[in-house]
Amino acid sequence: MGKALKSAGYFIDEVYSRTHKSAEKLAKELDSKPVVQLDHIAPNADLYLISVPDNAIGNILSEINVPGRLTVHTSGSLSMNVLQKASKNYGVLYPLQTFSKDKSLDFSNIPMCIEANSAANEKILMRIAGDISQNVKLLNSAQRKTAHVAAVFACNYANFLFGIAEEILREHNLPFELLNPLISETARKVMENQPHTVQTGPAVREDIETMEEHLEMLNDFPEYQKLYSLLAEALIKNHKKKGKE
Amino acid sequence: MGKALKSAGYFIDEVYSRTHKSAEKLAKELDSKPVVQLDHIAPNADLYLISVPDNAIGNILSEINVPGRLTVHTSGSLSMNVLQKASKNYGVLYPLQTFSKDKSLDFSNIPMCIEANSAANEKILMRIAGDISQNVKLLNSAQRKTAHVAAVFACNYANFLFGIAEEILREHNLPFELLNPLISETARKVMENQPHTVQTGPAVREDIETMEEHLEMLNDFPEYQKLYSLLAEALIKNHKKKGKE
């Protein structure tokens, strides 16, 4: 997000990190100054952007001292109110996307989920988010947490299923690339349709024979066997429910 | 596949279906003739392509009478040898893709998985598959079944997870479109990386606090709660295993 802000014309004064190395690396990319002690950061910035793992924010907030300055976190699952500790002006800028360390993403389509503790702060965050993305949404903490759980299923767990597929193929010396067109099409389909209306496969057909054969083939992967069964079961149940709606 | 074959210049003489309506519909699209009784089909075609649900093929094979003619099924999970019943020349043309009834797909990138009972038949099927796709693979029955199980995880179950995400969002009046950029990026990432190397989310970080909060938020969805736990558990275990490799 630092890079996206910089590209949009924002000046990033300082970059804090616990280690010199990572503070320097990011500061260099952002034409900024590295800081490794929180009590050394400049006290008069317009915005303090805290983007750390959820379980690290507690320490940051107890060390940072910027009373009154707009302080923002970028987490999907943390309540906005955790920031009360740091400042009386606070909010959230949550980019609903999956990030890789070594790959910069185009932010223009990423949903920026905004929340702020006052209308004035909301306006500021809306403007900042709008400068880096065309897809800005106002979400309160409960909605943001809901979006985050949904994202765990649609991204983290979907990726885990891709990994299971890869492992099964590798075990039989088949390349994972074989599934590329299938994965693309699966993702494309749900952009245009409700997922349950385009559901295919043996479970939705209740093709017991094929599912039993699949379970047998998964004998070497007891964990995936269990997942296969539970997913099939939930899918069948869900499909019956949808059919009745 | 009928449309792809027709586009590639193949002549489709007859289309069989159990019902007049669907036989006529497809026959019309393919400039072909509808047939509703299997014992009425022309006995001298170069290829008989059987594309029906796996559990329907038994009936077809016991009624069809085309001895010696090349007879092919399109299933990912049926062994090639089930076709012995129908002819002494047989094989498989399995397109590794997910299909929707009302949407024609470009076949040129779809992996066409080929198997045949002789080198001569393999050559014929390779040529036919090569006329509709640039992505033709020779897979024996065991490999094809493996690809099919992998596809169930990467497509059918991934789509089910997208559906769970949609349901969770809808319950809180949030639009599923919110996840579009995330789903696109999740799919894009695994085209270029091994899935486990780009795994993100609370499970891989072993962020117990967030996972517990998510489970609580899923109280209204006990089935999805169970899935969330099992997926988290398997993911953590898997990640530790990969870390040691």
Per-residue pLDDT tens for A74-109?
A: 999 999 999 998 999 999 999 999 987 767 788 999
In chain B, what percentage of residues exceed pLDDT 90? 86
Query: What is the pLDDT confidence band of residue B104, given thresholds at 50, 70 and 90?
Result: confident
For the cut 80, the answer to whether the pLDDT of residue A153 exceeds it is yes
Rounded Cα–Cα distance for residues B218 and B66 (Å): 56
- pLDDT for the residue numbered B242: 82
Condensed to tens digits (0 to 9), the pLDDT of residues B164-210 reads 999 999 999 999 999 999 999 999 999 999 999 999 999 998 999 99
Q: Which residues of A touch B217 (CB under 8 A)?
A: 145-146, 149
- pLDDT for the residue numbered B102: 67
Residues 80-109 on B with a CB inside 8 Å of A are: 96-100, 105, 109
For the cut 90, the answer to whether the pLDDT of residue B243 exceeds it is no
Q: Which residues of B touch A229 (CB under 8 A)?
A: none
How many beta-carbon pairs below 8 A join chains A and B? Answer: 316
Task: Spell out the SS3 assignment of chain A.
Answer: CHHHHHHCCCCCCEEECCCHHHHHHHHHHCCCEEECCHHHCCCCCCEEEECCCHHHHHHHHHHCCCCCCEEEECCCCCCHHHHHHCCCCEEEEEECCCCECCECCCHHHCCEEEEECCHHHHHHHHHHHHHHCCCEEECCHHHHHHHHHHHHHHHHHHHHHHHHHHHHHHHCCCCHHHHHHHHHHHHHHHHHCCHHHHCCCCCCCCCHHHHHHHHHHHHHCHHHHHHHHHHHHHHHHHHHHHHHC
Q: Cβ of B238 and A223 within 8 Å?
A: yes
Chain-wide mean pLDDT for chain A? 94
Of B147, B171, B186, the CB nearest to A174: B147
Condensed to tens digits (0 to 9), the pLDDT of residues B26-82 reads 999 999 999 999 988 999 999 999 999 888 899 999 999 898 999 999 999 999 999
Q: Cβ of A150 and B168 within 8 Å?
A: yes
ipTM for the complex?
0.93
* Two structure tokens written together for B160: 């089910």
Rounded Cα–Cα distance for residues A4 and A24 (Å): 18
Residues 6 or more apart whose Cβ sits within 8 Å of residue A99: A105, B200
Residues 9-48 on B with a CB inside 8 Å of A are: none
Which of B149, B173, B193, B219 to probe the A interface (max A CBs under 10 A)? B149
Of A98, A137, A195, the CB nearest to B185: A98
- pLDDT for the residue numbered A102: 67
Higher-pLDDT residue of A194, A244 = A194
- pLDDT for the residue numbered A243: 77
Task: Write phi, then psi, for A222 (nearest 5 degrees).
Answer: -55, -35
* Two structure tokens written together for A233: 């079961």
Condensed to tens digits (0 to 9), the pLDDT of residues B29-43 reads 999 999 999 988 999
Q: Does B195 touch chain A (CB under 8 A)?
A: yes
Which of B57, B94, B157 to probe the A interface (max A CBs under 10 A)? B157
In this prediction the pTM is: 0.93
For the cut 70, the answer to whether the pLDDT of residue A170 exceeds it is yes
Most confident range (mean pLDDT) of A112-121, B11-20, B79-88 is A112-121
Q: Does B52 touch chain A (CB under 8 A)?
A: no
- pLDDT for the residue numbered B55: 85
Buried b / exposed e along B167-198 (16+ C-beta atoms within 10 A): bbbeeeebebebbbbbbbbbbebbeeeebbeb
Residues 209-238 on A with a CB inside 8 Å of B are: 209-210, 213-214, 217-218, 223-224, 226-228, 230-231, 234-235, 237-238
- pLDDT for the residue numbered A245: 67
For the cut 90, the answer to whether the pLDDT of residue A237 exceeds it is yes
- pLDDT for the residue numbered B100: 77
- pLDDT for the residue numbered A105: 84
Rounded Cα–Cα distance for residues B2 and B166 (Å): 33
Condensed to tens digits (0 to 9), the pLDDT of residues A11-61 reads 999 999 989 999 999 999 999 999 999 988 999 999 999 999 888 899 999
Instruction: Say if residues B92 and B111 touch (Cβ distance below 8 Å).
Output: no
Of B171, B194, B226, the CB nearest to A166: B194
Of A164, A178, A213, the CB nearest to B77: A213
| Shortest distance, CA A42 to any CA of chain B (angstroms) | 31
For the cut 80, the answer to whether the pLDDT of residue B245 exceeds it is no
Q: Which residues of A touch B231 (CB under 8 A)?
A: 157, 160, 227
Average pLDDT for residues A57-80, to the nearest whole number? 93
Average pLDDT for residues B104-109, to the nearest whole number? 89
Rounded Cα–Cα distance for residues B6 and B10 (Å): 5
- pLDDT for the residue numbered B99: 85
Q: Does A200 touch chain B (CB under 8 A)?
A: yes
Of B139, B160, B176, the CB nearest to A199: B160
Average pLDDT for residues B86-111, to the nearest whole number? 90
